[in-house]
Amino acid sequence: MVRPIPAGHAFMPLSLSALTFPNIDPVLLQIGPLAIHWYGLGYVLGILLGWWYAKRLVQNNKLWRNNTPPLKPEDLDDFLVWAALGIVLGGRLGYILFYDFAAYRADPLQVFAVWRGGMSFHGGLLGVVLAIVIFCRRRAIPLFGLIDTLSPVAPIGIGLVRIANFINSELWGRPTDVPWAFVFPNGGPEPRHPSQLYEAALEGLLLFLVLRLLTHRALKLKQPGFVGGAFITGYGISRIIVEFFRVPDPQLGYLLGGWLTMGMILSLPMILVGGGAMIYASRARAA
């Protein structure tokens, strides 16, 4: 959940090795009752930039098998709303079911308070996959074609939202003495790992660059399913790595041995499914 930063409050590190947390208001702009939050802006920009980049991919014929993209740019225009609904509805429902069902059952109206945080990537992924399946069936578009088109753009939104998590001072990491640690305003006096920025770097920037190499250098879009598999495998590995530095949601805590988290459990199937998709795509290409 988002933990608001009190306006005008300065936070000084209690350790010489800690950095001062930037006093950025989670609300970017407020006009009367209308408030634009960094968190929501991250989602909106991620979807719009992803839509633009995906259209660039399907307009580049040489990237695809037989130099023929599996769908048209106009299909992506129509899918934009589907993607937004899948991300928001799936992400919200996933967080409620996976992370904090008891709290939302006690106060159902909090389901609609999305500006306070409480979104699950894994739920959002399932929501988008369901939207993709329905959309492809209605348009007679190859399933892997749309999945492979959207996978290289997904890290853009992931990275932006993780930066928004940092601004909101939520999902911070475990106590540490590394020189780049922060004392988060609502994380106690201990310097902590900026795990949100780790995720922005791994799940966002690094994964985007890896997928860019696969699409434009290795031409893996010519192997249907490979790029989609690489994305979910890369995300799963990145998320599990960061979970070792991140504090789990307090209502769940560690599920086993002081290290196993819900994020790890939900990410492991992604690695298995993604690895299987890459193997399948490679073998189909060879055949």
- Look at residue 35 in the predicted model and tell me its pLDDT: 79
pLDDT at 115 over 90: no
Instruction: Supply the pLDDT for residue 15.
Output: 47
pLDDT band, residue 117 (cuts 50/70/90): low
- For 22, how many CA atoms within 13 A lie in the half-sphere containing its CB? 11
Measure the CA–CA gap between 53 and 7, rounded to whole angstroms.
36
Q: How confident is the model at residue 11 (pLDDT cuts 50, 70, 90)?
A: very low
- Which whole-number Å values give the CA distances from 195 to 134, 200, 250, in the listed order? 35, 9, 16
Mean pLDDT of 167-195: 93
Residues 3, 262, 232, 104, Cα dihedral to 10°: -50
Question: 286 or 198, which is more confident?
Answer: 198
Mean pLDDT of the chain: 89
> Between vectors from CA 153 to CA 53 and to CA 246, what angle results, nearest 5°?
145
Query: Across residues 185-205, what is the average pLDDT?
Result: 95
Whole-prediction pTM value?
Answer: 0.86
Q: How far apart are CA 174 and CA 228, in angstroms?
A: 32
pLDDT above 80 (res 262)? yes
Residue 5 has pLDDT above 60, yes or no: no
Q: What confidence score (pLDDT) does residue 65 get?
A: 95
182 three-class SS: strand
| Tens-digit pLDDT profile for residues 129-177 | 999 999 999 999 999 999 999 999 999 999 999 999 999 998 999 999 9
Give the pLDDT of residue 220: 97
CA angle 249, 255, 261 (to 5 degrees): 55
What angle is formed at CA 99 by the lines to CA 94 and CA 105, rounded to 5 degrees?
85
Phi, psi of 36 (to 5 degrees): -105, 115
Q: What is the pLDDT of residue 138?
A: 95
For 233, the token pair is: 């495998």
Query: Running DSSP on this structure, what letter comes out for residue 260?
Result: B
Q: How far is 112 from 49, CA to CA, in rounded Å?
A: 25
> Would you say 270 and 276 are in contact if contact means Cβ atoms under 8 Å apart?
no
